[in-house]
Structure 1
Amino acid sequence: MTGAGPLVSIIVPVYDAGEHLEPCIRSILEQTHSALELILVDDGSTDGSGEVCDRLAAQDVRIRVIHQENGGIAVAQNAGLDAASGDLITFCDNDDLMAPRMLERLVELIESTGADMSCCRWKNVGASQGVAEMRKHADDPFGAYEVFDDPARAYQTVFSLAHRKLLRVELRYFSEANWGKMYRAHLFDGVRFPAGRYAQDVAVAMTLYERMSSVVSCEDALYYWLQRGDSVSHALRSAAYYSDIVHAHAQSFDVAIRLGVLPARAYTGMTALRFERRAAGTADELRRLEDDRRAVRTRVRQLSIWQRVICRALHLQRLLEIQVYNVTVHRRR
């Protein structure tokens, strides 16, 4: 284990994680980079997850537990950020796993290149196979990496699988999800996730990427994103949920336009308007839908015809890829 080196704060929002919580926590405690503080934010769990956090904290001084009333993932993440004392920060969902050398790899990359953020690839694995799959690949050698500047542009334009494979820019692809990434702590100075939002990560993504000079991305799949049928990602979505997606990507769109970046990902995100249209039923929901329509139209009109063509083409490619994803990954157990 590498106990030396910069302190890494790992923030894990915890809410009714059940049997998945302890494997998640143990995967973090078993990291080869042991200079870490694990901040578990129990967001009003009702299934005993808070007690699991306390029990494991009594066994390892690197664990800090925060208990709070349920406020949602953004409030929990913010509580973790407020408590973090590490030079570097990363996040983990309470039902996912981190490969034993994930921190080691991301720390080494960010320190050796001077980048503001390092990130790795991830694997979508059925929850029942996660630990076995992670152990099988624990000793895989590290692969290639790439350092690039202007991460805000990469985030907005490199997201379609076909596009990034064709142009060989796979390592420039990263999502707004906070897991699988390591941030320099100062990036969050004055930045917190908006409370009560479903798309809290999208809402701050461009703000963070605008602050970065460079990113280092490696091809190593070190984060295990476990799929299970009862997860939030599989839940029925409301009109309010889709409205929030539209609003978050509209914010992202505005930042991209200000930076002179083609807002292709934001364009695709705003097409969640079609799902909001299907879900809206009450008078309030229909009024909000009309407001969202106007907001989207106003933004799309800022694009040239050619920009609209590019955004539309990338959107259609991504739509096809999502359909394939939904009949493969989302069926895993």
Structure 2
Amino acid sequence: MAKVSVIVPVYNDEQYLADCVDSILRQSYQDIELILVDDGSTDDSPQICENYRERDARVRVLHKVNGGVGSSRNAGLAMATGDYILFVDNDDWLVDDHIEQLYRHLTDNDADIAVANYTEFRMADQAYRIWINDGDYYEKNYSIQEWFQQQYRSNYYNMSQVFTVPWCKLYKRSLFKHIAYPIDKPVEDDLTSWKVYLLANKVAYFNAAIYFHRILASSVTARGKQTAVFPIEAVVDRLALLTQIGFDTSNEIKAYRQRLSICRNEALKDGDYVKYQDAMQKTAILQHYQQIKTETED
């Protein structure tokens, strides 16, 4: 069997870390190395990591100076020796055949990435948020151009989030040869995941929830900082590259306008005059040329 490197960035998660690690070690697919990257934790997380290393030879641990989740992913990738990469957040957990299902779909379909869906568990109200039932199951292979059309389908099985997050996916390790996650951003996935896809040829998707994602009150999403969750620079980068390679950019153009509006509103709320004026200037330019286009068509 091919080895799967499972990378878990760890930071101050003594309460839920054991649930996460146990769900990985009891996987039906056993040929794994579990890389726990302790990002300068100040609670009991480092000792929990060491306890697992002593208990299971498949566990490797790195203790590093705090640098954020992006730096932890980069460190884990540098340590990985497996044929495939799987990311898991330190407070999430997997169904028992999570890796086996992803591996089977990837190899059976000769794909570069296998992707599944997930279920949220919201700590604030101790409730699961479920959007997939048994009757919703389907399988589909996507070309990369087709896969990019899924990223803004938020009302279709939450596919927008599925597209963006690094977890709930099995990747060929070769896809990460030139990938580095940003280390100075509160949310790194929207800035990176799409670049990994562009180095692949096929995505094998199956519509089953095989991952549990815990939403904490302290998460960026829960805190509601919209410019962090929806960074405009991600869309700017995608527009530049997708235009060069001939992909349909109509969704990206719409997303740019939406995120520009978010930047304007956040800057106004934060009292950031320079960012607000920059967003207003770009909005005015877009409106000016839209008006010219409308008058020309009339």
Q: TM-score, normalised by structure 1?
A: 0.74
Q: How far off is 1:17 after superposition? A: 1.5
Match of 1:148 among 142, 155, 159: 142
Q: Percentage identity across aligned positions?
A: 26
Matched residue of 1:200: which SS? coil
Q: In the alignment, which residue of structure 2 is the partner of 1:237?
A: 225
Instruction: Name the amino acid aligned to 1:177.
Output: V
C-alpha displacement of 1:148: 2.0
Question: Alignment RMSD, CA only?
Answer: 3.4
| Deviation (angstroms), 1:141 | 12
TM-superposed deviation, 1:259: 2.6
SS of the counterpart of 2:164? Answer: coil
Q: Decide which of 252, 264, 267 is 1:277's aligned counterpart.
A: 264
Partner residue of 1:29? 25
Write the deviation string for residues 215-254 of structure 1: whole angstroms up to 9, x where unpaired.
1001221011122323332125286x37x80112211222
Q: How far apart, in 2, do the equivalents of 1:254 and 1:180 lie?
A: 27
Q: Once the 2 structures are TM-superposed, how far is the Cα of residue 45 of structure 1 from its aligned partner?
A: 1.0
Structure 1: give runs of 5+ residues left out of the alignment: 307-333
Maintained 8 Å contact 2:29/2:100: yes
SS at match of 1:225: strand
Give the Å deviation of 1:266: 6.4
Range with greater deviation from structure 2 (256-265 or 279-288): 279-288
The residue number in structure 1 matching 2:95 is 99
Change (3 A) 1:267 1:104: same
- Cα deviation for residue 274 of structure 1 reads 3.0
Which of 100, 109, 116 aligns to 2:112? It is 116
Distance 2:261 2:84 in 1: 39
The alignment partner of 2:33 has SS state of strand
**Following the alignment from structure 1 to structure 2, what is the Cα–Cα distance between the partners of residues 22 and 276?**
38
- 1:198 positional shift: 2.8
Equivalent residue number for residue 226 of structure 1:
214
Which of 49, 57, 62 aligns to 2:58? It is 62
Match of 2:186 in 1: 198
Q: Deviations over 1:150-208 (max 9, x none)?
A: x244224553255x58xxxx989941210001100000011111221234222223322
Bigger proportion of residues as helix: 1
Would the alpha carbon gap of residues 126 and 217 (structure 1) be closer, same or farther in structure 2, given more than 3 Å must change?
same
Q: Which runs of 5+ in 2 are unaligned?
A: none
Q: Which amino acid aligns with 1:258?
A: Q
CA distance in 1: counterparts of 2:17 and 2:163, whole angstroms: 24
Distance 1:121 1:220 in 2: 5
Residue correspondences, number: 285
Once residues 94 and 36 of structure 2 are traced to their aligned partners in structure 1, the CA distance between those partners, rounded to angstroms, is 15
Q: CA 1:266–1:172 in 2, change beyond 3 Å: closer, same or farther? A: same
Task: Tell me whether 257-266 or 46-55 shows the greater mean CA deviation.
Answer: 257-266
Counterpart AA for 1:118: A
